[in-house]
């Protein structure tokens, strides 16, 4: 047994142990707006439901350990106390990861990660159309847990409207765990798909992925390449040499690229798409 005093650990090490031990954690995919109405979208796994009446969810955008800066989501809910909390299923996990890229303030991650903005009914931030459940919330309190890097900020959000895709319901009208197909966060690069177990997702590119909006049109409109496939292709820091607007229009090349993506071979997938 290891016996550790948190005060004697470096923050990244402490963070690693806590995140490895406390899991799987549900993922809050938070849509917010700034004072000018610019939209932001980011995932948060320090998250759960804490009360049914009133219906309260809490998530925590932390101060960065690296440089003690704060997340855009926190700035936004302090300026405009509204958030849409979307849940994340397996079909959107790679796009959700791409949306966690640290794009500059004002960049709309719906666009970069290829999600559809659906207008909300009670709050200003849009909903993620692809998410099986979308919860419009008013932020009722923000509690800072400290001023140093790594300190969390509890964002307490009261649900004002629930949107549930009927396709995830069973015959009794309840949410079916197989159909909702939720994913959750573990330590390191690990995630858990509730119905089948562990899998890894490469961290977003620290040089900033180009985003799905920057992919050649033929690839974006592909019927073969899924959102998860496109998100992995869009996690490169520049369009590979030779890529152009019509790259990847050949169906066989798309099929081959899909196989490479399934094996985690993103570079080879790009080569096939460019060379056809
Ligand atoms: C699945 C997942 C869960 C995350 N959970 C958290 C979290 O709970 N707290 C946090 O501060 N950052 C978390 N992050 C990192 C943020 O999403 C990331 O810093 C993002 O760029 C913040 O965006 P924003 O500045 O637009 O709010 C998570 C990232 C991923 C991929």
Q: Is the CB of 43 under 6 A from ligand 1?
A: yes
Q: Is the pLDDT of residue 243 over 80?
A: yes
Q: What spacing in Å lies between the alpha carbon of 228 and ligand 1's midpoint?
A: 19
**Which of 19, 22, 45 most suits a substitution to test ligand 1, by most atoms within 8 Å of the C-beta?**
45
Looking at the structure, do residues 89 and 69 belong to the same domain, yes or no?
A: yes
Per-residue DSSP letter, 87: -
Of 150, 177, 200, the domain-final residue: 200
Kindly state whether residue 207 falls inside one of the protein's structural domains. Answer: no
Contact status, residue 153 vs residue 69, Cβ threshold 8 Å: no
User: Tell me, what's the pLDDT at 100?
Assistant: 97
Domain membership flag for residue 236:
yes
Both 175 and 240 in one domain: the answer is no
Residue 122 pLDDT > 90: yes
Q: Are residues 124 and 32 in the same domain?
A: yes
Average pLDDT over all residues of the chain: 96
- What is the distance in A from the centroid of ligand 1 to the CA of 223? 30
What pLDDT digit, counting tens, does each position of 65-116 carry? 999 999 999 999 999 999 999 999 999 999 999 999 999 998 999 999 999 9
Instruction: Give the angle subtended at the CA of 91 by the CAs of 85 and 97, to the nearest 5°.
Output: 60
Residues 83 and 77: beta-carbon distance below 8 Å: yes
Last residue of a domain, one of 177, 200, 223: 200
Supply the DSSP symbol for 66: T
- Confidence (pLDDT) at 276: 62
> Whose Cα sits closest to atom 9 in ligand 1?
61
Instruction: Pull the structure tokens for residue 126.
Output: 């849009």
* Distance separating alpha carbons of residues 264 and 258, to the nearest angstrom: 10
Which phi and psi (to 5°) does residue 121 adopt?
A: -100, -25
Is 39 inside a domain boundary?
A: yes
Are residues 240 and 217 part of one domain? yes
Final residue before a domain boundary, out of 167, 200, 233: 200
Say what the pLDDT of residue 59 is: 98
101 and 112 Cβ atoms separated by less than 8 Å: yes
Flag whether 257 is in a domain.
Answer: yes
Whether the pLDDT of residue 178 is over 70: the answer is yes
Lowest-pLDDT range of 40-44, 225-229, 236-240 = 236-240
Residue range(s) defining the domain that contains residue 183:
6-200
* Range 132-138 average pLDDT: 98
Give the residue-averaged pLDDT of 224-231. 96
Residue 62 lies in a domain: yes
160 lines ligand 1 (CB under 6 A): no
Same structural domain, 226 and 143: no
pLDDT of residue 145: 98
């Amino acid at each position: 047994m290891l016996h550790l005093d948190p005060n004697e650990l470096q923050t990244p090490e402490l963070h690693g142990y806590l995140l490895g031990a406390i899991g799987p954690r549900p993922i809050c995919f938070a849509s917010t707006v700034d004072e000018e109405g610019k939209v932001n979208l980011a995932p948060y796994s320090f998250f759960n439901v804490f009360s049914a009446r009133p219906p309260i969810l809490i998530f925590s955008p932390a101060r960065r350990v690296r440089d003690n800066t704060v997340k855009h989501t926190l700035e936004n809910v302090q300026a405009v106390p509204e958030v849409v909390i979307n849940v994340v299923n397996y079909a959107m996990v790679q796009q959700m990861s791409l949306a966690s890229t640290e794009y500059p303030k004002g960049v709309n991650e719906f666009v970069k990660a290829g999600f559809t903005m659906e207008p909300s009914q009670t709050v200003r931030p849009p909903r993620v159309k692809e998410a099986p459940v979308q919860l419009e919330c008013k932020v009722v309190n923000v509690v800072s847990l400290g001023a140093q890097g790594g300190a969390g900020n509890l964002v307490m959000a009261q649900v004002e409207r629930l949107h549930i895709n009927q396709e995830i319901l069973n015959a009794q009208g309840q949410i079916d765990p197989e159909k909702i197909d939720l994913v959750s966060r573990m330590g390191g690069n690990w995630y858990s798909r509730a119905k089948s177990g562990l899998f890894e997702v490469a961290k977003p590119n620290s040089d900033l992925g180009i985003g799905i909006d920057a992919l050649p049109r033929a690839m974006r409109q592909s019927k073969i390449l899924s959102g998860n496939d496109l998100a992995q292709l869009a996690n490169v820091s520049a369009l590979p040499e030779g890529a152009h607007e019509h790259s990847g229009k050949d169906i066989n090349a798309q099929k081959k690229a899909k196989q490479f993506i399934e094996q985690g071979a993103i570079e080879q997938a790009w080569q096939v798409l460019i060379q056809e």
